[in-house]
């Protein structure tokens, strides 16, 4: 009886556009895998260039760079006999021939090449191209099926392995075509962005695919943050009957070894349990922050700490991501800041050990009020004066950022982003919006969850006091907005389910609440368009997957 095949899934964190660096990462994984006696190493979708490279794919020099690095990886493998490596990469070459560029056709293809012994042996081309939610793959890629290209099946010590790329495996045809071409196992390379519930969704789909084909399935996934997207890792392998055989940890790099018995084709390896929902979201946010700062070269982060729960949560995430020495908090009291806000902000900064300063905004507020006194003299106070306060804070934080290089993290949550309960150029000013896709009710859950994990780092009163922007006397969020559980439920129905006003009212919500919330979502489109990028953790965030016109008269 022959020994089991060793297949390793390279759950790596690559950087978009870092072609030489990513190639080095893949080569390093290959060396490690070779030393461990691995037969086949599988890297994620577009591992060579990072996912999603977006319009970099329109640049001929970018595609040429990818081709060059692929050849370099192949050449390095000449020294690693017996190892085959699947590399995900874009290319404009079809069967070795450069495709002609055209104004209206996608510039390239999304490929997976099999490398071994110094050469590129075969290249598979993705057949199903997602063009919904955050995905724009038909902007960049043409389909292997549309181009009449065949499935790719390659031999690993006698086992016929069929290649698929991500979306391919969510449909019947590509796997069926691979099986028809002789595949005895499926190998899927992926870049499948995280959202709450994605692990279960993905595994259920792949179990279905395994069962439909009767083939074991290996799923190699990327890990790490890229602008608004976070990739969660959790690479896995399914038996032919759809049973989970192997699962890697979420949100960390791993070389995941799967053993395949050549006679039974049963898989063996370790199953890491799936963390609870709050833990997944926390890790997604920590990963998103760490990678945005790390990959963009920021030395640290700065944020405005108000004594409220949103900034407290973001501070805790930032410290978990970067360490206390890289994070700085600034409290910028206004005339309306309550004493308990100061006390709680100081308390929290102390518990976390971050640098903490207080800078009153009163002198600047006085100066603006004086400059505008003639214009505004007979008019009532309104959001104008509230916004001036928020913008002074934004300007102070940005000045510290400009002088010292740290990035400003914004602290607004999804419920605020949806309803516009935030100030453009004020609390929205910053480079990265950590919790922009976290609804307020989830903000509370995450704060409680984090406190439950270790020492209580968020003072309890920050969690229990009624939320307030503190921009006018005795202000409470719920004076302007429905209670957060109601607001968040309406948002989820309207945004994530595309329900109409009538649908939501029919589900039992007050017509005036539904009218108000959906109107606010609509009229604040222009604000969101100018918001910093931030981490997506739901099925539909305010990023690449929310493309609403600003100019629109539609209401329903």
Report the distance separating Cα 211 and Cα 244, nearest Å.
12
Q: Per-residue x/- mask for its own copies, residues 286 to 325, rule CB under 8 A?
A: -----xx--xx-----------------------------
Report the distance separating Cα 22 and Cα 10, nearest Å.
12
Give the residue, chosen from 144, 307, 431, 459, that forms a contact with its own copies under the rule CB under 8 A: 431
Q: Do residues 396 and 330 touch, judged by C-beta distance below 8 A?
A: yes
With residue 332 as reference, give the H or E element that holds it.
none
By CB under 8 A, residue 58 contacts its own copies: yes
Distances 549 to 30, 304, 497, 529 between C-alpha atoms, Å: 47, 31, 19, 10
Q: Do residues 487 and 481 touch, judged by C-beta distance below 8 A?
A: yes
Least distance from its own copies to the Cβ atom of residue 472, Å: 14
Q: Is 126 in the active site?
A: yes
Least distance from its own copies to the Cβ atom of residue 290, Å: 12
By CB under 8 A, residue 480 contacts its own copies: no
Report the distance separating Cα 123 and Cα 127, nearest Å.
13
Report the distance separating Cα 541 and Cα 537, nearest Å.
7
By CB under 8 A, residue 134 contacts its own copies: no
Give the residue, chosen from 366, 456, 478, 479, that forms a contact with its own copies under the rule CB under 8 A: 366
Q: Per-residue x/- mask for its own copies, residues 212 to 251, rule CB under 8 A?
A: -------------xxx------------------------
Question: Choosing from 49, 166, 187, 422, which is the catalytic residue?
Answer: 166
Least distance from its own copies to the Cβ atom of residue 6, Å: 32
Question: Choosing from 45, 203, 228, 470, which is the catalytic residue?
Answer: 45
Q: Is 276 in the active site?
A: no
The 3-class SS string of 100-169 reads CCCCCCCCEEEEEEEEECCEEEEEEECCCCCCCCCCCHHHHECCCCCCCCCCCEEEECCEEEEEEEHHHH
Q: Per-residue x/- mask for its own copies, residues 379 to 418, rule CB under 8 A?
A: x--xxx--xx--xx-xxx-xxx-xx---------------
Question: Choosing from 6, 49, 126, 326, which is the catalytic residue?
Answer: 126
CB under 8 A: which stretch of 30-38, 60-68, 239-247, 456-464 binds its own copies? 60-68
Least distance from its own copies to the Cβ atom of residue 462, Å: 26
Q: Residue 518's closest CA among 494, 553, 554? A: 494
By CB under 8 A, residue 130 contacts its own copies: yes
**What is the footprint of its own copies within residues 17-56 (CB under 8 A)?**
17-19, 21, 50, 52-56
8 three-class SS: strand
**Positions marked active-site:** 45, 126, 166
């Amino acid at each position: 009886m022959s020994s089991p095949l060793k297949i390793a899934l390279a759950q790596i964190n690559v950087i978009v556009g870092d072609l030489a660096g990513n190639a080095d990462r893949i080569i390093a994984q290959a060396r490690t895998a070779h030393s461990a006696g691995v037969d086949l190493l599988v890297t994620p979708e577009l591992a060579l260039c990072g996912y999603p490279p977006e319009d970099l794919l329109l640049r001929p020099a970018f595609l040429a760079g990818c081709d060059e690095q692929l050849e370099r990886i192949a050449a390095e493998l000449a020294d690693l006999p017996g190892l085959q490596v699947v590399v995900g990469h874009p290319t404009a070459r079809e069967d070795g021939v450069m495709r002609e560029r055209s104004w209206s056709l996608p510039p390239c293809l999304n490929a997976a090449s099999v490398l071994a012994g110094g050469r590129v042996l075969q290249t598979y081309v993705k057949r199903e191209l997602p063009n919904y939610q955050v995905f724009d793959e038909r902007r960049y890629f043409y389909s292997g099926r549309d181009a009449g290209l065949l499935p790719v099946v390659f031999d690993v010590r006698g086992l016929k392995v069929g290649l698929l790329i991500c979306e391919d495996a969510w449909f019947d045809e590509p796997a069926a075509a691979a099986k028809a071409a002789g595949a005895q196992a499926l190998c899927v390379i992926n870049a499948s962005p995280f959202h709450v519930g994605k692990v279960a969704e993905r595994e259920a789909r792949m179990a279905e695919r395994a069962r439909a084909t009767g083939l074991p399935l290996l799923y190699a996934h990327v890990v790490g943050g890229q602008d608004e997207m976070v990739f969660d890792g959790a690479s896995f392998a399914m038996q032919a009957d759809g049973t989970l055989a192997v699962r890697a940890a979420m949100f960390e790099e791993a070389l995941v070894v799967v053993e395949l018995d050549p006679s039974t084709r049963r898989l063996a390896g370790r199953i890491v349990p799936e963390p609870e929902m709050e833990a997944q979201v926390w890790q997604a946010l920590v990963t998103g922050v760490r990678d945005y700062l790390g990959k963009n070269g920021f030395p640290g982060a700065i944020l405005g700490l108000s004594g409220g729960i949103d900034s407290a949560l973001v501070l805790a995430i930032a410290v978990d991501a970067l360490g206390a020495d890289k994070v700085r908090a600034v409290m910028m009291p206004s005339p309306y800041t309550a004493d308990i806000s100061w006390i709680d902000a100081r308390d929290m900064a102390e518990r976390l050990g971050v640098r903490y300063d207080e800078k009153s905004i009163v002198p600047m507020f006085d100066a603006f009020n004086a400059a505008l006194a003639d214009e505004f003299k007979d008019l009532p106070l309104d959001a104008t004066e509230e916004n001036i306060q928020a913008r002074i804070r934004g300007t102070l934080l940005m000045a510290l950022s400009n002088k010292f290089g740290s990035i400003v993290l914004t602290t607004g949550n999804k419920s605020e982003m949806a309803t516009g309960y935030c100030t453009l150029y004020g609390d929205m000013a910053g480079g990265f919006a950590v919790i922009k896709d976290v609804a307020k009710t989830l903000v509370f859950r995450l704060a409680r969850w984090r406190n439950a994990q270790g020492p209580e780092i968020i003072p309890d009163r920050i969690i229990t006091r009624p939320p307030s922007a503190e921009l006018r006397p005795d202000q409470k969020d719920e004076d302007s907005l429905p209670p957060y559980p109601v607001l968040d439920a309406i948002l989820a129905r309207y945004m994530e389910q595309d329900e109409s006003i009538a649908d939501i009212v029919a589900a039992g919500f007050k017509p005036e609440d539904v009218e108000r919330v959906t109107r606010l979502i609509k009229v604040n489109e222009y604000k969101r368009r100018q918001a910093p990028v931030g981490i997506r953790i739901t099925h539909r965030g305010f990023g690449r997957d929310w493309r609403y016109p600003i100019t629109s008269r539609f209401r329903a």
